[in-house]
């Protein structure tokens, strides 16, 4: 996913936060996905208004991670979400 | 049998049972008798004999859109504007009817009662309901029989109706709300706090494993008898399952099909030793 793209949660998914972490069901597959803390943090930002670059900025400012590493991590995570049809661009 | 929930009407085989809410009879039919009776569907004043390849239509409370829900056994179109559901079953009609009724029941339980139906056995231990969930044929009935033999009250071997999932509520196991027309029988009312949920695993010994929330939620979702293939179905169910996991511990019970597991469960519930000693 490119840094200028603005991913948003797939509106067909159902998501729920339990104990600070998000759980997302993809109705097309009936699969339940659970995210760790950083994944949950990113999931909340996927509203279609923030660019990938902006999401990386938010991760860098909230967690102790340098920007190149955050960029890689966010990109991998978003690609996984896209492959699972949990986000749209 | 004619069962109603809100404006949902399912008519079966000329027998009549009208419930203001979803019905124990519905599940009894769906799980025990579906192979032996035909279904007559009522649809806009017309009656249509249910056949293996013919659609069953039911009427449901209205909402605002049409959704289509399918499963390996059936596909259904919920016209939420007119309150109509059209269902088409495949060749395996008996499990299809079973699964369809459960899904519709779950839909209504979750959307209108704020409750879920959990595929589980439920026993009463010192005033608390304890649920034991497992796939069919994996120990629920055995556990219920063993518990009954040890003097415990069995609420269900198959399906528990769990409410009290609102913000400030305490989860409770309730009667499947049913009222049969032309029946003088008064059903026992169930309303018990839910103490715990156990996922059963056959084992050579009795022990309990604690689980992180991330593993508790799939257990609860797995026990909710519903096709999760449409957001209209998934959203309320996921919300209620999450609420349940937040409020009630979900554990794995390794179970050797002996009454000894009861002592373990009592201990988990924090019951006094005197109670445990009576087992």
The domain limits of chain B are 2-113, 116-277
**Which residue's structure tokens are 């029941």?**
B105
Given the candidates 3.40.50.300, 3.90.228.20, 2.40.30.10, 3.20.20.30, the CATH classification of the domain at B116-277 is: 3.90.228.20
Angle at B3 between CA B48 and CA B164, to 5 degrees: 140
Of A26-35, B198-207, B222-231, the poorest mean pLDDT is in B222-231
CB contact under 8 A, B227 and A30: yes
pLDDT average, residue stretch A61-81: 95
pLDDT average, residue stretch A23-52: 90
pLDDT average, residue stretch B199-219: 90
Can you give the pLDDT at residue B275? Answer: 43
Q: Could you tell me which of A31, B124, B270 has the C-alpha nearest to residue B132?
A: B124
Instruction: Tell which wins on pLDDT, A6 or B212.
Output: A6
Q: What are the helix (H) ranges across B187-230?
A: 213-223
Nearest chain B residue to A35, by CA: B214
Please tell me if residue A72 touches chain B, with a CB cutoff of 8 Å. no
pLDDT average, residue stretch B235-240: 86
**Which residue's structure tokens are 């495949």?**
B90
Instruction: Tell which wins on pLDDT, B278 or A60.
Output: A60
The model's pTM is 0.73
Indicate whether this complex's ipTM tops 0.90.
no
What residues contact A19, with CB distance under 8 A and at least 6 apart?
B213, B246
At residue B132, what are phi and psi to the nearest 5 degrees? -125, 115
For residue A27, give the nearest of B213, B230, B242 by CB distance: B230
* CATH T-level topology, domain A8-88: Arc Repressor Mutant, subunit A (1.10.10)
Q: Report whether pLDDT(B42) > 50.
A: no
Domain ranges of chain A: 8-88
Please tell me if residue B246 touches chain A, with a CB cutoff of 8 Å. yes
User: Which of residues 212 through 231 in chain B touch A, CB cutoff 8 A?
Assistant: 213-214, 217-218, 221, 227-231
Q: Could you tell me which of B191, B192, B211 has the C-alpha nearest to residue B201?
A: B211
Contacts of A15 in chain B (CB under 8 A): 238
**What CA–CA distance (Å, rounded) separates B161 from B155?**
10
Nearest chain A residue to B228, by CA: A30
| Structural element, H or E, at residue A87 | strand A87-88
At residue A23, what are phi and psi to the nearest 5 degrees? -125, 130
**What CA–CA distance (Å, rounded) separates B88 from B35?**
17
Q: Could you tell me which of B98, B136, B125, B108 has the C-alpha nearest to residue B275?
A: B125
**What CA–CA distance (Å, rounded) separates B199 from B140?**
10
Cβ atoms of B42 and B35 within 8 Å: the answer is no
For residue B228, give the nearest of A21, A23, A30 by CB distance: A30
For residue B238, give the nearest of A16, A19, A21 by CB distance: A16
Contacts of B221 in chain A (CB under 8 A): 25, 32
Contacts of A13 in chain B (CB under 8 A): 231
B139-198 pLDDT tens trace? 898 999 999 999 999 988 878 889 999 989 999 998 765 444 444 444 567 899 999 999
What residues contact A75, with CB distance under 8 A and at least 6 apart?
A1, A52
**What CA–CA distance (Å, rounded) separates B136 from B156?**
14
What residues contact B246, with CB distance under 8 A and at least 6 apart?
A18, A19
Can you give the pLDDT at residue A37? Answer: 93
CB contact under 8 A, A19 and B213: yes
Give the model's confidence band at B101: pLDDT under 50 very low, under 70 low, under 90 confident, else very high: low
For residue A14, give the nearest of B217, B235, B245 by CB distance: B235
Angle at B31 between CA B26 and CA B32, to 5 degrees: 100
| Structural element, H or E, at residue A14 | strand A14-18
Please tell me if residue A85 touches chain B, with a CB cutoff of 8 Å. no
Can you give the pLDDT at residue B65? Answer: 45
Contacts of B245 in chain A (CB under 8 A): 18
Q: Is the dihedral of CA B79, B232, B110, B145 positive or negative?
A: positive
Q: Report whether pLDDT(A73) > 60.
A: yes
Contacts of B229 in chain A (CB under 8 A): 27-28, 30
């Amino acid at each position: 996913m490119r840094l200028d793209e603005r991913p948003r949660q797939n509106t067909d998914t159902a998501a729920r936060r339990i104990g600070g972490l998000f759980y997302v069901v993809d109705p097309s597959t009936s699969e339940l996905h659970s995210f760790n803390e950083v994944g949950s943090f990113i999931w909340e930002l996927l509203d279609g208004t923030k660019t990938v670059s902006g999401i990386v900025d938010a991760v860098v400012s909230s967690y102790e991670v340098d920007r190149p590493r955050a960029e890689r991590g966010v990109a991998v995570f978003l690609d996984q979400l896209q492959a699972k049809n949990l986000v749209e661009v | 049998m004619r069962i109603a929930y809100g404006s949902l009407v399912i008519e079966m085989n000329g027998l009549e049972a009208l419930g203001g809410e979803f019905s124990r009879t519905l599940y009894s039919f769906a799980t025990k008798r579906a192979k032996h009776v035909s279904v007559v569907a009522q649809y806009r004043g017309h009656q249509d004999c249910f056949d293996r390849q013919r659609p069953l239509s039911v009427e449901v409370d209205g909402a605002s859109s049409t959704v289509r829900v399918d499963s390996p056994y059936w596909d259904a179109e919920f016209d939420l504007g007119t309150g109509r559901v059209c269902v088409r079953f495949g060749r395996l009609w008996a499990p299809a009817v079973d699964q369809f009724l459960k899904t519709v029941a779950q839909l209504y339980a979750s959307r209108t009662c704020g409750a879920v139906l959990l595929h589980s056995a439920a026993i009463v231990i010192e005033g608390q309901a304890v649920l034991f969930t497992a796939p069919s044929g994996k120990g629920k009935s055995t556990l219920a029989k063993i518990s009954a033999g040890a003097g415990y009250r069995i609420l269900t071997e198959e399906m528990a109706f769990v409410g009290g999932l609102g913000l400030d509520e305490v989860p409770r196991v309730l009667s499947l709300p049913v009222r049969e027309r032309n029946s003088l029988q008064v059903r026992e009312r169930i309303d018990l706090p839910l103490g715990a949920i156990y996922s059963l695993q056959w084992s050579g010994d009795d022990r309990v494993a604690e689980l992180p929330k991330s593993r508790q939620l799939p257990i609860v979702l797995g026990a909710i008898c519903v096709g999760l293939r449409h957001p209209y179905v998934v959203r309320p169910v996921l919300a209620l399952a999450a609420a349940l996991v937040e409020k009630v511990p979900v554990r794995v019970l390794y179970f050797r099909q002996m009454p000894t597991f009861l002592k373990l469960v009592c201990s988990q519930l924090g019951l006094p030793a005197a109670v445990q000693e009576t087992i």
